[in-house]
Amino acid sequence: MLSGIYNYLVKNNPEARNIFASIDKYNQQRKDSKPKGLPLGVKILLEAKYGSKWRDKIRGKTIKIPFVPKKFEIEYEKVLLKYFKNHFTKQINKVSKEIINDIKTRQDDIRADMMEQRFYDSFDRIEKEANYAELGLEIIITHTARKLYDYHKEKFSYSIKKVFGIAIQLNDENVINNLPKWTKTNLNLIKNVRHEVIPKLKSQVTNAFQNGIRASELQEQIQKITGYTEYRAKLIARDQIGKLYGQMNRQCSTDLGLESYIWRTSGDERVRPRHRQLDGETRRWDEGIIPGEEIRCRCNGESVVDDKLLY
Ligand SMILES: [Zn+2]
């Protein structure tokens, strides 16, 4: 409603346009000039606790949080596999059985293209139903994101308290605002798997009817495709949890005024060579890739308390 009035005024009234433009400019300037670093109240508390040399007590310390626990990936993987099984592969297997049966018992008086169309329709129906089921899935994905958020917040706050010696209220508005975006990305990734698999299935069926391949061969091909669906579900789960954790870490840190971090790898043999090189390096949160960003990366970032934050 308000944005409707805003748009109307901006479109039709040059004076209103100027006023809104100057308000926008003012807001932007205010945002840009917002001082970084610890709030004054926190500095006063720190000085009261440690005396005038309080900065020396804290400078150079790092905000350590645990590597993202495997249980989040495992739980998310379970959720996605269950969704694909109940709303996708189970139905595909059922239709595939019918196809294979029809091929085996095909009679000459049934036209192949009619049969083919029937199966096409079945695949389309599966796709549509899976779309409806996505509403439920969205709730589950949101819940997953929220649980990871709670975990990260707890660990981050704990580490802050350990480093500073006092609890600091975190402004996590930006972290919370990012959660729906992550949910949407995940829904799209899942949708993409279906968009990729359905045409593949259709072309296999066409091939089966037109070139008369053996039923057992078709069965094998379809199994491969449904297996691929599971593989993708697992990949999404393992990749996305690490990504979200990394994003939360960056956002929490930079919102507090922590601009740099030390790259930490899990130290095992699965760490990619490039990240092994980065291990221990101090980097800026706003430059280059961050831990967790690259596919299935399990690295972590340890934010550094520097003078910019303390002064
Ligand atoms: Zn990594």
What pLDDT, in 10s, does the model give residues 243-296?
999 999 999 999 999 999 999 999 888 899 999 999 999 999 999 999 999 999
- Please indicate, yes or no, if residue 45 is contained in any of the structural domains: no
Do residues 152 and 297 share a domain?
A: yes
Find out whether 58 and 305 touch, Cβ atoms under 8 Å.
yes
Do residues 90 and 213 share a domain?
A: yes
How far, in Å, is the centroid of ligand 1 from the Cα of 201? Answer: 35
> What is the reported pTM?
0.84
Q: How many CA atoms lie within 13 A of 202 on its CB side?
A: 17
Do residues 80 and 16 share a domain?
A: no
How far, in Å, is the centroid of ligand 1 from the Cα of 274? Answer: 8
Do residues 114 and 162 share a domain?
A: yes
CA distance 294 to 263: 13
How far, in Å, is the centroid of ligand 1 from the Cα of 144? Answer: 22
- Please indicate, yes or no, if residue 46 is contained in any of the structural domains: no
Q: What is the pLDDT of residue 72?
A: 97
- Please indicate, yes or no, if residue 50 is contained in any of the structural domains: no
Q: What is the pLDDT of residue 101?
A: 84
- Please indicate, yes or no, if residue 205 is contained in any of the structural domains: yes
Spans in the chain with pLDDT lower than 70: 1-6, 9-10, 26-36, 106-111
64 secondary structure, DSSP code:
-
Q: What is the pLDDT of residue 163?
A: 97
Do residues 196 and 66 share a domain?
A: yes
Two tokens, residue 260: 């740099």
Closest CA to 138 of 204, 185, 87, 206: 185
* Domain carrying residue 169: 55-310
How far, in Å, is the centroid of ligand 1 from the Cα of 241? Answer: 13
Q: What is the pLDDT of residue 296?
A: 93
Q: What's the total number of domains in the chain? A: 2
Do residues 101 and 227 share a domain?
A: yes
How far, in Å, is the centroid of ligand 1 from the Cα of 262? Answer: 13
Closest CA to 290 of 238, 250, 232, 233: 250
Q: What is the pLDDT of residue 16?
A: 73
How far, in Å, is the centroid of ligand 1 from the Cα of 297? Answer: 4
Do residues 117 and 266 share a domain?
A: yes
How far, in Å, is the centroid of ligand 1 from the Cα of 24? Answer: 40
Q: What is the pLDDT of residue 263?
A: 98
DSSP secondary structure string, 54-95? Answer: HHHHHTT-EE--PPPPHHHHHHHHHHHHHHHIIIIIHHHHHH
How far, in Å, is the centroid of ligand 1 from the Cα of 310? Answer: 30
Q: What is the pLDDT of residue 108?
A: 56
36 secondary structure, DSSP code:
P
Do residues 234 and 299 share a domain?
A: yes
Do residues 119 and 249 share a domain?
A: yes
Closest CA to 168 of 301, 37, 34, 11: 37
Chain position carrying tokens 């192949």: 112
Do residues 174 and 108 share a domain?
A: yes
CA distance 164 to 170: 13
Contacts of 122 (CB under 8 A, 6+ apart): 95, 98
Q: What is the pLDDT of residue 9?
A: 67
Do residues 256 and 304 share a domain?
A: yes
- Please indicate, yes or no, if residue 42 is contained in any of the structural domains: no
- Please indicate, yes or no, if residue 40 is contained in any of the structural domains: no
Q: What is the pLDDT of residue 65?
A: 97
How far, in Å, is the centroid of ligand 1 from the Cα of 281? Answer: 13
- Please indicate, yes or no, if residue 219 is contained in any of the structural domains: yes
- Please indicate, yes or no, if residue 212 is contained in any of the structural domains: yes
How far, in Å, is the centroid of ligand 1 from the Cα of 229? Answer: 25
Q: What is the pLDDT of residue 302?
A: 98
Q: What is the pLDDT of residue 110?
A: 61
Do residues 148 and 189 share a domain?
A: yes
